[in-house]
Amino acid sequence: MANQDDTFKKVIAHAKEYGYIFQSSEIYDGLSAVYDYGQNGAELKKNIRDYWWKSMVQMHQNIVGIDAAIFMHPTTWKASGHVDAFNDPLIDNKDSKKRYRADVLVEDYREKIQQKIDKDITKAKKRFGDAFNENEFVTTNPNVLRRQKQIDEITVELTRVQEENDLEGFKQLIVDLEIVCPVSGSKNWTDVRQFNLMFGTKLGASADSAMDLYLRPETAQGIFVNFLNVQKTGRMKIPFGIAQTGKAFRNEIVARQFIFRMREFEQMEMQFFVKPGEELKWYEYWKETRLKWHMSLGMGEENYRFHDHDKLAHYANAAADIEFNFPFGFKELEGIHSRTDFDLKAHEEYSGKKLKFFDPQLNESYVPYVVETSIGLDRMFLAVFSKSLQEETLDDGSTRTVLKLPNILAPIKVAVFPLVKKDGLPDIAQQIIDDLKWEHTVLYDEKDAVGKRYRRQDAAGTPFCITVDHETLENQTVTLRERDSMKQKRVKIVDLPSILSEELSIKKWLN
């Protein structure tokens, strides 16, 4: 655990030191669970957003993108169920005065048991070597069986108290499991209460005519209320999708873990409208397609896993998360939900407008079913950033800190250096920049020895460095150095644009 904490602390410190993420309003000591993206962070975030948008909208002839407002008519949130059902169960420890999400306390407890099982498996693997049969081990080893039984029992009870909204049962579960507050170490808990996560605000100046509004807690509803506008004006035929990226706001009870859980964050969502009865086929399709998108970034298959939901939201008939191996363990990165016709039907009911699709082949109208993919942009940022940050020991025994961002996402793609600040080398470097900047984000650096400049760019995540030296004056070649392999090769200046465009093309990455 200490090790995980250390890694995570390094991630946070590095994100600040290299201009990726700052605490919001830091000069006033910050605002809890709100963060700002710095000069490099804004670029990385934009690149992730573009990578998602292009894979969804540009690459699918039947998906279009919109940009709906954050403010929406308040009835939207009645229809969507957020006014009545967007609650988290919270519990306070009376000694530490710390507040927790009751479900998270139980889930963390369950995860610890899971970790014990994983440890047993690793140990047994070591002991038995090649002869080890994992399946046999987990189905016969008494310790594993006992722990698995415990996990299953907790899951059943957790699902029950959540589904039945049994707040007393929830508290009892925490008491029975003897869960202690991580801060005070005591079991002195309050009752479990429900807490609505939407931020309220007012529209209009005068007190009596002002209208109560909410800051949207998800971008999805902006898509549902525009379903017919887009379908008609875009002449879309089922199946088709509407994509959107944008800010969402949630008054999270426990907002810890840096940008993993924030009060203001950004979502990238796509609602795919399908014929009723075909939703599970499309659900499987989108699960697979989204996992492929993640894999395309090359951050290691072992760092992703699906988690099928035990407890389905009131609107869903199937749901899974893509979990990622964050510095604090596997946690939800993206959700894929089969939402049935819940949302469109609810908006029909509350608005009195028909939200149907006329199917010319069937010669009838129906309310489409929806399969949704929903990923947090900031969470994706954390996944990419934390996995990319590495300490490497080199052949000569020295170490380097390197941010091995997928090249396509890196904020600065190329840094150009003159070996020395004289003999016309800076001018050539500048000419190279002027040529490359049409396609790529490029940076100039002439300070310190070249080795030091390389290390600076390694730590900042820049995939390519170009050095102009005296040989350049003779034969118009430069040194091109790769961040990950640290390999250097001599290339012609005229070839730079094509080499870089090939390396950084979205086709190469997404394909």
As measured in angstroms, the least distance from the Cβ of 219 to ligand ATP is: 9
Residue with Cβ nearer ligand ATP (157 or 378) = 378
Please report, for the chain, how many H helices and E strands are present, in that order. 18, 23
As measured in angstroms, the least distance from the Cβ of 248 to ligand ATP is: 7
Contact 42, 358 (CB under 8 A): no
Residue with Cβ nearer ligand ATP (88 or 157) = 88
DSSP lists the bridge partners of residue 442 as 414
Strand, helix or coil for residue 9? helix
Residue with Cβ nearer ligand ATP (100 or 417) = 100
Contact 54, 278 (CB under 8 A): no
Residue with Cβ nearer ligand ATP (262 or 460) = 262
Residue with Cβ nearer ligand ATP (231 or 267) = 267
Residue with Cβ nearer ligand ATP (21 or 480) = 21
Nearest Cα to Cα of residue 219 among 343, 309, 332: 343
HEC string of 376-392? Answer: EHHHHHHHHHHHHEEEE
As measured in angstroms, the least distance from the Cβ of 163 to ligand ATP is: 16
As measured in angstroms, the least distance from the Cβ of 375 to ligand ATP is: 5
As measured in angstroms, the least distance from the Cβ of 214 to ligand ATP is: 15
As measured in angstroms, the least distance from the Cβ of 218 to ligand ATP is: 6
As measured in angstroms, the least distance from the Cβ of 81 to ligand ATP is: 12
As measured in angstroms, the least distance from the Cβ of 217 to ligand ATP is: 8
As measured in angstroms, the least distance from the Cβ of 270 to ligand ATP is: 12
Alpha-carbon gap, residue 336 to 143, rounded angstroms: 34
Alpha-carbon gap, residue 112 to 73, rounded angstroms: 43
Residues that bind ligand ATP (CB under 6 A): 218, 250, 252, 261-262, 265, 267, 332-335, 374-376, 378-379
DSSP lists the bridge partners of residue 264 as 249
Residue with Cβ nearer ligand ATP (247 or 508) = 247
Bridge pairing between strands 35-37 and 63-66: unpaired
Alpha-carbon gap, residue 69 to 282, rounded angstroms: 28
Residue 393, H or E segment? strand 389-393
User: What DSSP string runs through 10-75?
Assistant: HHHHHHHHTTSEEETTGGGT--TT-EEE-HHHHHHHHHHHHHHHIIIIIT-TTEEEE---SB--TH
Residue with Cβ nearer ligand ATP (331 or 347) = 331
As measured in angstroms, the least distance from the Cβ of 42 to ligand ATP is: 17
As measured in angstroms, the least distance from the Cβ of 264 to ligand ATP is: 8
As measured in angstroms, the least distance from the Cβ of 159 to ligand ATP is: 15
Residue with Cβ nearer ligand ATP (335 or 368) = 335
Compute φ and ψ for 251, nearest 5 degrees: -80, 70
* Alpha carbon of residue 144 to chain centroid: 32
Residue with Cβ nearer ligand ATP (218 or 503) = 218
**Residue 129 amino acid letter:** G
Alpha-carbon gap, residue 462 to 92, rounded angstroms: 45
Alpha-carbon gap, residue 124 to 138, rounded angstroms: 10
Residue with Cβ nearer ligand ATP (93 or 374) = 374
Residue with Cβ nearer ligand ATP (166 or 332) = 332
> To the nearest 10°, the Cα dihedral for 209, 215, 218, 219?
70
> To the nearest 10°, the Cα dihedral for 461, 270, 379, 501?
0
Alpha-carbon gap, residue 399 to 261, rounded angstroms: 32
- Tell me which DSSP letter residue 397 carries: S
DSSP lists the bridge partners of residue 154 as none
As measured in angstroms, the least distance from the Cβ of 162 to ligand ATP is: 12
C-beta pairs of 146-154 under 8 Å, 24+ apart in sequence:
147/113, 147/114, 147/116, 147/117, 148/117, 150/113, 151/110, 151/113, 151/114, 151/117, 154/106, 154/109, 154/110, 154/113
Residue with Cβ nearer ligand ATP (333 or 408) = 333
Strand, helix or coil for residue 274? strand
**CB-closest chain residue to ligand ATP:** 376
Residue 211, H or E segment? strand 211-214
